């Protein structure tokens, strides 16, 4: 036998180098709290079921609680020789309470133990992440409320398309984050299932009570197939997929923060507290935080593809490859928490340059659709109206004018249908206000949407 906890059938120790390669303790120590929590539930059930003596269960429980305190005090030390968090904690427990610690692992395997830890860990983190999404949504709603009548160019192909309200723009992201919230809430459902008691792969001959441990750990359900229980990492893949989408949303908005804070746009100015300077160019104010969120999105995509690739050829049930499920998940958790916090503060503190936005809508052709619609409402087929307005825009470009600059005389030559009220129609404020179709940018429509969003958020 060797010194390993599983050393019975071994006659030689792996080299230091091999042990280091196989060990996960350097990263899975993040699961320590959840591992102890899982063990507490398991040992209580073992005692209740008479699988071990109640006195033994109590001894183990007391030891585990001591480990909990040591962990909180930062006094637990782990070693590569003990491979992973599960064996490290079992070793620490043995050192503390002696051989009775060896009864804790009755009717359990590291395979269901690690799966349990991952479920508990992710469930805890989801409960942290969901409120951060809500906080960002609330910030977007608050910002939108003070900018209902702030008009700016709406873009397609990054070309001025039609004027919109800045609040409408903000609420577009609020809607995306609502779907992210819903996806992660569903993700929580698949994370909230207990694999404990699946043991190595096939269940156990001991009279365990899986529903009891699930209840003690506050799980809503148990896995119904032991092979699935120990080899399922869908809940992590869902998390990585959902956070990949969430980060993509953050990244798109960040791209606009970067663009809009440039001199060319100057639609917004980031707070000094969310910008950085240059070590050589004294005038610089760089949107580093927005760029970093955009950049970190790549890490999450990497985490997702890493785990998808780990999983794709794995035979049932447990394989050591599954140890590779951890770092990507930890990285994604950390990245998404930081990104959401930074984004919320950055949006909350940014200054909106309403004059610049307005200026951009007055000095462009984003009211061309208004003129075409104006003619169409007077009976001209829209296709024909489109053609006439297109020709008018071309003439204006050549003359260095905008549509509002043409005189009524000029307009009447273009079409006798055009009257003095055309100038009101061409005004960007009117253009936005009148787009009051359901879900449109019209001010009244936005006000309704703000109310809907607030009710929705109050239910989260
Ligand atoms: N450190 C391992 C992991 O993270 C724990 C499970 C090990 N089980 C085993 N049979 N080797 O996957």
111-166: pLDDT as tens digits: 999 999 999 999 999 999 999 999 999 999 999 999 999 999 999 999 999 999 99
| Domain edges within the chain | 19-106, 111-145+155-206+224-353, 360-458
CATH fold of 19-106: Fumarase C; Chain B, domain 1 (1.10.275)
CATH fold of 111-145+155-206+224-353: Fumarase C; Chain A, domain 2 (1.20.200)
CA of 84 to the centre of ligand 1 (A): 8
CA of 131 to the centre of ligand 1 (A): 32
323 in ligand 1 pocket by Cβ < 6 Å?
Answer: yes
The residue whose two tokens read 């050829």 is: 313
CB 126 within 8 A of CB 336: no
Nearest to 103 by CA among 135, 145, 138, 56: 56
CA of 110 to the centre of ligand 1 (A): 6
CA of 26 to the centre of ligand 1 (A): 14
Q: Summarize pLDDT for 260-318 with one digit per residue, the tens.
A: 999 999 999 999 999 999 899 899 999 999 999 999 999 999 999 999 999 999 999 99
| Full 3-state SS string of 292-344 | HHHHHHHHHHHHHHHHHHHHCCCCCCCCHHHHHHHHHHHHHHHHHHHHHHHHH
Q: What pTM, to 2 d.p., does this model score?
A: 0.95
- Tell me which of 77, 157, 437, 458 is the catalytic residue: 157
CA of 198 to the centre of ligand 1 (A): 14
CA of 80 to the centre of ligand 1 (A): 14
Nearest CA to ligand 1 atom 11: 320
Nearest to 452 by CA among 215, 151, 216, 144: 144
Nearest CA to ligand 1 atom 4: 323
Nearest CA to ligand 1 atom 7: 110
Nearest CA to ligand 1 atom 2: 323
CATH fold of 360-458: Ribonucleotide Reductase Protein R1; domain 1 (1.10.40)
Nearest CA to ligand 1 atom 12: 323
318 in ligand 1 pocket by Cβ < 6 Å?
Answer: yes
pLDDT for position 2: 86
441 in ligand 1 pocket by Cβ < 6 Å?
Answer: no
CB 373 within 8 A of CB 421: no
- Substitution candidate for ligand 1 out of 320, 322, 324, 330 with most atoms within 8 A of CB: 320
- Residue 1's pLDDT band, with cuts at 50, 70 and 90, is confident
Nearest CA to ligand 1 atom 1: 84
322 in ligand 1 pocket by Cβ < 6 Å?
Answer: yes
Provide φ and ψ at 197, rounded to 5°: 105, -10
Packed helices 382-399 and 368-377: angle between N→C axes, nearest 10 degrees? 140
ipTM above 0.90, yes or no: yes
pLDDT for position 6: 87
Q: 278 an active-site residue?
A: yes
Averaged pLDDT for residues 431-448? 97
- SS3 breakdown of the chain: % helix, strand, coil, rounded to 5? 65, 5, 30
Q: 15 an active-site residue?
A: no
Averaged pLDDT for residues 222-231? 98
Averaged pLDDT for residues 43-65? 98
Q: Summarize pLDDT for 380-425 with one digit per residue, the tens.
A: 999 999 999 999 999 999 999 999 999 999 999 999 999 999 999 9
Window from 6-20, 69-83, 337-351, 397-411 with minimum mean pLDDT: 6-20
Q: How many helices (H) and strands (E) does the chain have?
A: 19, 6
The sign of the torsion formed by the CA atoms of 119, 122, 124, 126 equals negative
Nearest atom within ligand 1 for CA of residue 200: 10
Whether the pLDDT of residue 249 is over 90: the answer is: yes
């Amino acid at each position: 036998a060797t010194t390993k906890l599983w050393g019975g059938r071994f006659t030689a120790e792996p080299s230091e180098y091999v042990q280091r390669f196989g060990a996960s303790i350097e990263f899975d120590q993040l699961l320590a709290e959840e591992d102890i929590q899982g063990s507490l539930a398991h040992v209580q059930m073992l005692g209740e079921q008479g699988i071990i003596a109640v006195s033994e269960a109590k001894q183990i429980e007391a030891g585990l609680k001591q480990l909990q305190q040591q962990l909180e005090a930062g006094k637990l030390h782990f070693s590569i020789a003990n491979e992973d968090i599960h064996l490290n904690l079992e070793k620490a427990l043995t050192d503390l309470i002696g051989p009775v610690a060896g009864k804790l692992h009755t009717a359990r395997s590291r395979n269901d133990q690690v799966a349990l830890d991952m479920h508990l860990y992710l469930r805890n983190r989801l409960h942290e992440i969901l409120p951060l999404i809500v906080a960002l949504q609330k910030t977007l709603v608050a910002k939108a409320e003070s900018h209902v009548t702030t008009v700016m160019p709406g873009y397609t192909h990054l070309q001025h398309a039609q004027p919109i309200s800045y609040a409408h723009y903000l609420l577009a992201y609020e809607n995306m984050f609502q779907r992210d919230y819903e996806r992660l809430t569903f993700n929580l459902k698949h994370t909230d299932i207990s694999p404990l008691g699946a043991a190595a792969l096939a269940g156990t001959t001991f009279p365990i009570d899986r529903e009891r441990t699930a209840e003690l750990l506050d799980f809503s359900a148990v896995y119904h197939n032991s092979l699935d229980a120990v080899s399922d990492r869908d809940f992590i893949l869902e998390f990585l997929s959902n956070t990949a989408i969430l980060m993509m949303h953050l990244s798109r908005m960040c791209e606009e923060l970067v663009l809009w804070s440039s001199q060319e746009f100057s639609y917004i100015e980031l707070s000094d507290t969310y910008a950085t300077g240059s070590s050589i160019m004294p005038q610089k104010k760089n949107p580093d935080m927005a760029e970093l969120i955009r950049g970190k999105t790549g890490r999450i995509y990497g985490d997702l593809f890493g785990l998808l690739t780990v999983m794709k050829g794995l035979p049932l049930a447990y394989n050591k490859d599954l140890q590779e499920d951890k770092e990507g998940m930890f990285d994604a958790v950390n990245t998404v928490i930081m990104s959401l916090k930074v984004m919320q503060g950055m949006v909350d503190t940014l200054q909106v340059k309403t004059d610049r936005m307005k200026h951009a809508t007055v000095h462009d052709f984003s009211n061309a659709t208004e003129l075409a619609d104006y003619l169409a409402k007077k009976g001209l087929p829209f296709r024909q109206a489109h053609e006439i307005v297109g020709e008018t825009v071309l003439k204006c470009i050549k003359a260095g004018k905008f549509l509002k600059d043409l005189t009524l005389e000029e307009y009447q030559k273009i079409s006798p249908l055009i009257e003095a009220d055309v100038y009101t129609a061409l005004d960007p404020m009117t253009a936005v206000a009148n787009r009051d179709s359901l879900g449109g940018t019209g001010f009244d429509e936005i006000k309704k949407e703000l109310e809907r969003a607030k009710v929705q958020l109050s239910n989260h």
